[in-house]
Structure 1
Amino acid sequence: EDKTASDLFKHYQEIFPHGNRNAASHRWAHFVLQRSTQMTPGKVAYFFASFCPISGSPIDPTPQTAIRYESGHGLPQVSGGQAEGIIHHCCWPCICDSLKFLRVDTKTVSTSQGPHQFRFLVYGNPCTDPTRIPAEATDVTCSNGRLEASVLSDHGHVIVGMLQDNQPSIGASSREVLEA
Structure 2
Amino acid sequence: MSLINTKILPFTAQAYHNGEFVEVSDTDVLGKWAIFFFYPGDFTFVCPTELGDLADYYAELQELGVEVYSVSTDSHFVHKAWHDDSDEVGKVRYFMLGDSNGQVTTNFDNMREGLGQADRATFLVDPQGVVQYIEQTAEGIGRSASELLRKVKAAQYIAAHPGEVCPAKWEEGAKTLTPGIDLVGKI
TM superposition score normalised by structure 1: 0.26
Return the structure number with greater relative CO, CA threshold 8 A, min gap 6: 1
TM superposition score normalised by structure 2: 0.26
